[in-house]
Amino acid sequence: MKNNSKKRVLCLCRAGIIAALYVALTYLAMLFGLGKNAIQVRFSEALCILPVFFPEAVGGLYVGCLLANVLTGAAALDIALGPVATLAGAVGAYLIGAVIRKKNIKSFFFKCLVPIPTVLANTVVVPLVVYICYTAPSEQTLSLIPYYALTVFLGEVISAGILGMLLYAAVEKNQKYLK
């Protein structure tokens, strides 16, 4: 097999593994009751730092979020928009990673910017989905949207920010074994 073909197969397999991990970690969070509370902590969102190291992770995260939302019985709008938010965060992480690689940045502070696109994308999209799809019509008031935004933000800081940066450190330390 040619070297280029091997690389394509490796990238496709890695994207599939990332998608499967996203689904499995989403189920794990739900098993612990963390996926549907006011502050949702989806362990799978930690994976959104992976595009810094593996460009193919962008597609894997999109497919993983789509599958996770379908398999967990999410509302149609959640199935449509949730993966878009994950995709936006993954692309943002990839772009930050490109700057880190190009400029050979070693600063921990700059690396902490990696989860921010994921946190922001979900903070914008998910509260609207929760309001439209999961709030009883009799309880819908626009004042709930800032509350939902705050709770989604906090959950994303925990999952994409804290857990994501722990994963970042582990992957960075062991990157030579992952190529």
Q: Tell me if 64 sits within 8 A of 24, measured CB to CB.
A: no
Domain ranges (residues) in the chain? 3-177
* Integer Cα distance of 18 and 14 in angstroms: 6
Q: Tell me if 141 sits within 8 A of 30, measured CB to CB.
A: no
Q: For the whole prediction, is pTM greater than 0.75?
A: yes
Per-residue pLDDT tens for 108-139? 888 999 999 999 999 999 999 999 999 888 88
**CATH, domain 3-177, list 1.10.10, 2.40.50, 1.10.3470, 1.10.1760:** 1.10.1760
Q: Tell me if 55 sits within 8 A of 29, measured CB to CB.
A: no
Per-residue pLDDT tens for 7-19? 999 999 999 999 9
Per-residue pLDDT tens for 64-91? 999 999 999 999 999 999 999 999 999 9
